[in-house]
Chain A
Amino acid sequence: MPVSESSSKVVYEALRASGVRLVSALPETWLVHLIRMADDDPEMILVRLAKEEEGVGISMGAHLAGLQTAMLMQNHGFFAAINGIISGAMLYKIPLLMLISDRGFMGERDPWQTEGGKFTRRTLDALGIVQDELTHPDDAEGKVAMAMTLARASLSPVALLLSRGLMWEEPAA
């Protein structure tokens, strides 16, 4: 599977370095290595979800109990979690670091991903969620650390888009 294991490792280590101790996730192709790394790490709590919105509640509870968390999800998972993000995390001022695989954007070959790709950034913008893109392994650690810092200082959701260039090793057709 041409999902980049080395980039996944860099992103995972960045999450660890930023203090994340609980990760909630719903598998999608680009996230397989990240989820496996969380599963293999005895110091990380991995919560596999049935639906992404649950992850917002889990992060809310964990944050109020003093634990730093991150959510791993596809952009469609972000769409599925929106009510929880607004009426949970935003309403209650919860720092919520969201790593969102940027499916349906430039280079996407799967037709079923392309509709959602049009709306990822616009939806984040509409919700006022500060976002950045992880495009290169070299700046992943810094960007994850800064995103966590902002989430904690602003008590708000912050999104990092996992880009195709970072997560996928197959050359674009």
Chain B
Amino acid sequence: MVKRIDCLETIYEELGDCAVVTIMGAVAVELYSLGHRANFFYLEHAMGLASSMGLGIALAQPNRKVVVIDGDGSVLMNLGGLSTMARYAPPNLTHIVFDNESLLSVGGFPTATSTGADLAGIARASGIDDAKLVKDLDEFAGAAKKAIAGDHLACVVAKVEAVGPASFHMDLHLLENRFEFARALRPPLPKGDLM
């Protein structure tokens, strides 16, 4: 089975110009370990709301690509959010879901995807027409790159191994991340204008 960090590596370059919102835990640490950028926001709590944040960014800045990197546990906490995302369907939004069928960072307890809940199916049934399930690395890279480059709301659910980093430490306080991210999404300050 494919590893999440290998998946992230395949799309790291594509994330360069996007606003990226990740969930907490292994997803955040693994993306951070590949090289932090000011346009990466790691939502360290408020479980379930990364997708809602991505929707808010995509609606506020329709000219910027937005990528949400989510997990099965978080999506299951905000299934209604899929229907809201589908309802407004920002063409600049991509929703990537890593499904390791467990709540890895709190001890690996199995989620409902381990007993058959089908997140890509739920996304499609919520109205996200372009939602697909992928199970190997090439398939993921192709689907995710196409989704990010594409011109419609897309969801890619990738089945991944339930393994994560040795440590969850990140040398970046969440508030530092919050302020630098907001700054990165702003147009540059005009030179010589102190107002």
Contacts and interface: CB of A to CB of B under 8 A. Distances in A.
A and B assemble together: yes
Interface of A: 22, 45, 47-51, 53-67, 69, 83-84, 87-88, 91-93
A54 B45 contact: no
B55 interface: yes
B115 to A, nearest CB: 24
21 contacts: A48-B84, A53-B78, A54-B81, A54-B84, A57-B46, A57-B49, A57-B81, A58-B55, A60-B53, A61-B54, A61-B56, A61-B57, A61-B60, A62-B60, A65-B56, A65-B61, A65-B64, A66-B61, A66-B186, A88-B45, A93-B175
Q: For chain B, what secondary structure do more than half of its interface residues adopt (helix, strand, loop), or is it mixed? A: helix
B51 interface: yes
Contacts of A48: 84, 87
Nearest to A91: B45
B45 A61 contact: no
A47 B59 contact: yes
Contacts of B186: 66
B46 A56 contact: yes
Given A22-B56, A45-B59, A61-B60, A92 B174 contact: yes
Contacts of B181: 64
Interface in B127-179: 174-175, 178
B185 A58 contact: no
Nearest to B19: A65
Nearest to B55: A58
B88 interface: yes
Contact of A56 (B52, B80, B83, B87): B52
Nearest to B177: A92
Contacts of B41: 64
Contacts of A92: 46, 174-175, 178
Contacts of B175: 92-93
Nearest to A89: B46
Contacts of A69: 56
A173 B53 CA distance: 43
B182 interface: yes
